[in-house]
Chain A
């Protein structure tokens, strides 16, 4: 039912080309009534980030709610938000002091009872939050005084403070009152904007919350009102931009955003995001004892065979960059000096010959996204004699095949919302079901890093693990993703490394 990007892209590119050539004199909306109008793609089923992990919900949460800690988009450092400080009593006990004078959008004061209530709610499996592993390290949360809580952890978790940056704080008792749809009924937060009105899943009107606490790391919102509509089709969003009814859209396909640069009333921005594309290889031989990826030389050959810079230049475009380690450069513990496998088909053929595959081999290559990139990779592999048979299926069945060890080579993407490799690298190399490398040394290093509460030790262990992944070519880190933002020329909207817009930092030009 979905309109394919290919068909839609051709149609839209043609129409955009014609439209861009025609005189276009639309008055842009927004600045006169101090209302920024934006569109998001995926319908918001539940405004509560604990129950809907869609990108649209992340955007809304960033504006309506605040967490205890906040990751500064400029430095990737953790800074206090609703908290004013924290201290580890021991490896499993964390005290968090709360900022005084924070009030919810309904005028009630936020205190330790709200924090303890929220954290105790999300750690309980019976409450069925979506990202269970983000919260299941919490054993219980107790109130020490109205502005201090104590978090007891099940086991030491070095990422505890970073995970706390993902948890919006809700008023005490809100779930008992309304159930899991509470935020669709009473979206009360402490964030820089409050919900003025909403048509569930369709349109949200937010207004600046003038009582938003001073010294918030988000700062004081400059634009008074936000009007956020859900428009699923990129083509429709572009048409709305061209008609002047919207001020901001994102995730615009590269070919279409380049057409829009010709329109003077619009400005186009391309930025790399912290989502990483990768290929993992069956180094453990889970698909069979004859898996060619058991050979280091074959894995290195794959890394040399793929023209990652070429794919970035021709297809991903924008600010995307080739990655050499299995992480995004700004992630905590990501090595900057990982071994680099330059594009060298000759060397790849030589390595294959040395590994006993002078004529290449045939392999199943699985992916669930980015088909154009995947096809470019297949073409690169064919050049060195590797015939990759594409297994392009939906994520759900692919993940089943992957976890049962049926896939020798998988293309995918991953992003870390807490900008720390600790919450995603172990999924691929920590002996989990998705670890098809099964490297004991890497798994051991990651395990030690996960339980170490000393930041420098953890950094070193993560560094060593990622260096080994690169040295052994256990995976081929591909490139960062790129995101295209289109905005009316009278507004400037900053965004973070994940591509999430910060409308509270937006301003009219």
Chain B
């Protein structure tokens, strides 16, 4: 298991390095940060002076080398807009994104697993159809539309919840529903499939033959095995939720990492964009590795392979 973990860690570091090179190259070839910093009404002279002052006139590989050497020491540079170290900005914004991500995955698991179980217990009934419909709805509805709909109903008309901001935990209710709803379908479908497979297994038939009550059969014997792949998928979904928070944070004016990414893209704040993209990719890499490890832990066959 230790060798497996080390191999996974090495692979994660390699992916992170590739992501950082790719991000840096794409950002520098697609954006002229000096023009973006100078603004729409700037003169050519302003742009040239900014290019020199901030070192954007130097070869890209030198800029990357400097950035990389600092980044591996935990120094992501200074945002030319905030005038503050990028790591301070990220640490300031992380709690909002983590809170939203954690609440959303809990919401998704809280709805996805029961719906999947119900759909498997009552296959091809109206309950199954309703569960599948929820899945289709969750996957199909655009985040921004769903956000506005919830805002108008619960914040404007009923005035039960705040429209935007992160002043209290109530501010997270609507964004959590929007973001979490996106993650319900894969969790629900995987739970349903797993439960259907497990419920047709011999040991479940044995459990029924022993006269065990349904809740013991379903939840103690069937769900325990059916949920193994869900745990792994949930970790990937958690990464998706963190990375997918850009639109939701922006719509609900939650000043987290997603909104920092959004604003940095608008401003072409390259040091901040570079760091935020690296952080988001680290989430994916980390949670993917976690997913692999969990799979290997629960299923010894993976470790052997």
What is the interface of chain A, defined by CB distance below 8 A to chain B? 1-3, 7-8, 11-12, 15, 18-19, 22, 24, 26, 42-43, 45-46, 48, 51-54, 125-126, 128, 130-133, 136, 179-181, 184, 199-203, 229-233, 235-236, 239-240, 242-243, 245, 394-397, 399-400, 403, 413-415, 424, 427, 432-434
Contacts and interface: CB of A to CB of B under 8 A. Distances in A.
Q: Which 10 A-B pairs have the closest CB atoms?
A: A181-B83, A45-B81, A180-B83, A396-B32, A396-B35, A132-B49, A231-B253, A128-B53, A43-B263, A45-B82
A232 B250 contact: yes
Given A131-B46, A203-B165, A414-B40, 9 more contacts: A2-B262, A181-B84, A201-B82, A202-B255, A232-B250, A233-B250, A239-B148, A397-B30, A424-B41
B18 interface: no
Contact of A243 (B46, B54, B156, B255): B156
A507 B192 CA distance: 60
B149 interface: yes
Contacts of A200: 82, 92
Contact of B246 (A1, A239, A433): A1
A505 to B, nearest CB: 25
A211 to B, nearest CB: 28
B251 A400 contact: no
Interface stretch (B8-16, B58-66, B230-238, B264-272): B264-272
B45 interface: yes
22 contacts: A15-B148, A42-B266, A45-B82, A45-B83, A45-B263, A46-B81, A52-B81, A126-B53, A136-B45, A136-B49, A184-B83, A184-B84, A231-B253, A239-B156, A239-B163, A243-B159, A243-B163, A396-B36, A399-B47, A400-B32, A403-B44, A424-B41
A197 to B, nearest CB: 13
A311 to B, nearest CB: 20
Contact of B38 (A43, A48, A130, A243): A130
Given A53-B39, A231-B164, A434 B145 contact: no
A245 B162 CA distance: 9
A240 B32 CA distance: 35
Contacts of A243: 155-156, 159, 163
Given A11-B145, A396-B35, A399-B35, A433 B44 contact: yes
Contacts of A199: 255
B259 A232 contact: yes
A130 B37 contact: yes
B225 interface: no
Nearest to B151: A239
A162 to B, nearest CB: 15
B261 interface: yes
B73 interface: no
A233 B254 CA distance: 11
B216 interface: no
Nearest to B249: A232
Contact of A131 (B42, B84, B250): B42
Which residue among B37, B41, B45, B47 has the maximum number of chain A CB atoms within 10 Å of its CB?
B41
A245 B163 CA distance: 9
Interface residues of B, number: 57
A414 B41 contact: yes
A45 B53 contact: no
A42 B267 CA distance: 9
Contacts of B49: 125, 132-133, 136
Contacts of B152: 15, 18-19, 239, 242
Interface string B54-98: 100000000000000000000000010111100000001000000
A43 B265 CA distance: 12
B21 interface: no
B287 interface: no
B122 to A, nearest CB: 35
Contacts of A242: 152, 156
A7 B162 CA distance: 24
B149 A233 contact: no
A126 B159 CA distance: 52
Interface of B: 30-32, 35-47, 49-50, 53-54, 79, 81-84, 92, 142, 144-145, 148-149, 151-152, 155-157, 159, 162-165, 246-247, 250-253, 255, 259, 261-263, 265-269
A424 B164 CA distance: 39
Contacts of B151: 235-236, 239
Contact of A26 (B83, B159, B261): B159
Nearest to A235: B148
Contacts of A229: 165, 253
A424 B40 CA distance: 12
Nearest to B272: A45
A395 B41 contact: no
Contacts of A42: 263, 266
A133 B42 CA distance: 8
Nearest to A16: B152
A19 B41 contact: no
Contact of A19 (B50, B156, B163, B268): B156
A230 B260 CA distance: 12
Nearest to A48: B83
Which residue among B35, B152, B157 has the maximum number of chain A CB atoms within 10 Å of its CB?
B152
A1 B163 contact: no
A130 B36 CA distance: 10
Nearest to A399: B35
Contacts of B262: 1-2, 232
B280 to A, nearest CB: 12
Given A130-B37, A132-B50, A432-B44, A19 B157 contact: yes
A202 to B, nearest CB: 5
A42 B255 CA distance: 12
A161 to B, nearest CB: 19
B10 to A, nearest CB: 31
Contacts of A413: 40
A243 B159 CA distance: 7
A437 B91 CA distance: 50
A396 B31 CA distance: 6
A399 B44 CA distance: 9
A231 B262 CA distance: 12
Contacts of B159: 26, 243
Contacts of A19: 152, 156-157
Contact of B53 (A125, A245, A395): A125
Contacts of A126: 53
Contact of B44 (A240, A415, A424, A427): A427
